[in-house]
Structure 1
Amino acid sequence: MKLGVYTAVLHDRPLREALEVIKSLGLAGAEINSGGFIPTPHLPVDGLLSGEVDKDEYLSVFAETGVELTGLNCNGNPLHPDPEVGLADADDLRRSIKVAGLLGVTRIVCMSGLPAAHAGGTVPAWNVIPWDSAYLDSLEYQWNEVAIPFWRDMDALASEHGVRLCIEMHPHNLVFNPATLQRLVERTAATNIGAEMDPSHLFWQGIDPIAAIEHLGDLVFHAAAKDTRINDAAKVNGVLDDRHTRIPAEENPIGLGGRYTLNRWPADSTWDFVAVGRGHDQEYWARFLSALAKVDPDMAVNIEHEDAELGQLEGLEVAATTLKAAAG
């Protein structure tokens, strides 16, 4: 396996320094942000596409530090009905595909996106468990009128540039589990769309990521290493917890495109993202890596640090230690 880090957690450092941190952890891969929700301080997308930045000069930093560029990350909502978000995120994805092809990077992590519930809607709508036919009406619009035409075009562009699009199965997106990932691939007749296996979003849905890997097989293109801890509060409120609150503007909440921002997590949360090993033990992660290796022994697995209880480097160290031990 190619064990590495998704460098969003190291955006406060220049690229070379971020890669040196990765190398110091005993890891050898980096996934770099190329657009969407998060800025791109480690990748001059416009400069590379215009030719103002030489691709060989950019890639030399990876060669000199001994860290391989294993993927780009363009997580956003390209189907958002607000054009200030949706059109911008869709353009970011197109440019990411082109810059990946230029750099020889074959994997881009992205999200399927989420449209409005109906034509003319202004906010995304996540319809799950459609026991009422109204929800199926909405889902048919979201898939047939919005998602399928868009992703058919993205698959063709990815194929043209020799890139595979690795969909993160993320709630509040049309694709959030293996069934919806397969639906997207089948209904677009995609050749270059598959899964980024991020177990953290599957754990809290009650999905076993190892079973999901075995089920999807060759549709798993890329992977993340991020853990989830289910807390005691879930015994009372379950995992569908809507007690998030707004972060005041003066506290500089993280932007999600346009006028939208990240909300504050509940204090007594039913579940939390944690560093690898703090939700599931080393033995579990050894089985996770083994399942991935059966699909592709050279698959990139990049640590994504979102453990609010651990500092930047502390969280990476905990995750790297567990992951390397699990890899044996």
Structure 2
Amino acid sequence: MKLGVYNAILHDRSLPEALEVIAGLGLTGIEINTGGFLPAVHVPTFDQILESDTARDDYLGLFEGTGVGIAGLNCNGNPLHPKPEIGRKHAEDIRRSIRLAERLGQHRVVTMSGLPGGEPGATVTNWIVNAWNSAALDVLDYQWGIAADFWRETDRLAADHGVKVALELHPQNIVFNTADVYRLVELTGATHVGVELDASHLFWQQMDPVAVVRELGSLVVHAAAKDVRVNPENARLYGVLDNRFRRLSPDEPRTNLGGDEWANEWPKDSAWDFVALGRGHDAAYWAEFLSALRDVDPDMMVNIEHEDVSLGRIEGLEVAAGVLLEAARMIGEDAPARV
């Protein structure tokens, strides 16, 4: 297997410095952000690479001798957003990332399926959580039509460039569980759209990531190592769909998600939290997760995503890497394969 880090947590430093951190963790891959919600910080010559072999070779030269190679590209965003300044931009980021992947010799682009508005002329997204009424199914029918058109076209582009697009099963997207994956493939006939198995979003939905891997099989083409801890004393009061988020003001540090949309502050006494590997599920569980992924693809890329706010950037990566490497050893993967 190929174990690495999704680079967003290392955007505070240069690419060579990020590679040094990852090598120091005993890992060999870096999944590089190339647009969507976050800028392509570690690909400053993006446009040049698309056109110039020299620029491409210069960029790839940055990885030589580091022990760390590129382990996929990531442009998580909302390509179906009804606001063009968000939706069109994120959709183009996906197309550009597919072309960039081919230029860099990569075969995986991670993103999200996206979420449209609920009706023609909408300006905000509409996530149907529980479609118990007929009007909600009408919204879903409309949204699936938009999603199918986009992903049918994107699948053809990915096939033309020898790339598979890996969709993160992320709530507030049209595809966020196993049934949705099958529906998208059925509607589009996709051959180059699959799943990035990020266990964290499955945990808090009460899904079993190992069972999902075994169910989806070859549709799983990439993976993320991120844990979740459910806080029972809060979950029993607020449930996992708790909406007690706080809007951050313009004078507070906040993350732009495109256009005029921003990330909100997490509830203080949350029902669940993203945590470093091992703080929600032990190494034995992650060994089972890796084993299931290896059964699908012995060369599966599995990259740590660090969003544990109780730990610093490097501290969180060190905790997660320790658990991931221990899990790998438990299934006989003594050393991560070079990317």
* Matched residue, 2:264: 263
Q: Give, as a single letter, the amino acid of the residue that structure 2 aligns with 1:202.
A: L
Quick one: distance in 2 between partners of 1:298 and 1:289? 11
* Matched residue, 2:244: 243
Quick one: distance in 1 between partners of 2:100 and 2:54? 12
* Matched residue, 1:159: 159
Whether the 8 Å contact between 1:45 and 1:96 is mirrored in structure 2 is no
Equivalent residue runs for 1:38-187 within 5 Å: 38-43=38-43, 44-51=45-52, 54-144=55-145, 146-187=146-187
Whether the 8 Å contact between 2:34 and 2:73 is mirrored in structure 1 is yes
Quick one: distance in 2 between partners of 1:45 and 1:274? 32
Identity %: 58
Gaps of 5+ in 2: 330-339
After superposition, what is the alpha-carbon deviation per residue over 1:265-301, rounded to whole angstroms, capped at 9, x for unaligned?
0000000000011000111001000000000011000
* Matched residue, 1:192: 192
* Matched residue, 1:314: 315
Does residue 275 in structure 1 map to residue 263 in structure 2?
A: no
Provide the secondary structure at the position in 1 that maps to 2:120.
coil
* Matched residue, 1:222: 222
* Matched residue, 1:284: 285
Quick one: distance in 1 between partners of 2:64 and 2:278? 30
Deviates more, 1:42-51 or 1:124-133: 42-51
Quick one: distance in 2 between partners of 1:218 and 1:259? 38
Q: CA RMSD in A?
A: 0.9
After superposition, what is the alpha-carbon deviation per residue over 1:106-147, rounded to whole angstroms, capped at 9, x for unaligned?
000000000000111110000122110000001000011x11
Q: TM-score, normalised by structure 1?
A: 0.98
Whether the 8 Å contact between 1:45 and 1:95 is mirrored in structure 2 is no
What stretches of structure 1 move > 3 A for 4+ residues in a row?
Answer: none
Whether the 8 Å contact between 2:48 and 2:56 is mirrored in structure 1 is no
Provide the secondary structure at the position in 2 that maps to 1:170.
coil
Quick one: distance in 2 between partners of 1:235 and 1:167? 31
Provide the secondary structure at the position in 2 that maps to 1:109.
strand
Provide the secondary structure at the position in 2 that maps to 1:302.
strand
Provide the secondary structure at the position in 1 that maps to 2:65.
helix
Deviates more, 1:48-57 or 1:241-250: 48-57
* Matched residue, 2:235: 234
* TM superposition shift of 1:50: 3.3
Quick one: distance in 2 between partners of 1:306 and 1:21? 17
* TM superposition shift of 1:257: 0.1
Deviates more, 1:310-319 or 1:61-70: 61-70
Quick one: distance in 1 between partners of 2:238 and 2:80? 30
Quick one: distance in 2 between partners of 1:77 and 1:52? 30
* Matched residue, 2:332: none
Quick one: distance in 2 between partners of 1:283 and 1:243? 33
Provide the secondary structure at the position in 1 that maps to 2:80.
coil
* TM superposition shift of 1:66: 1.4
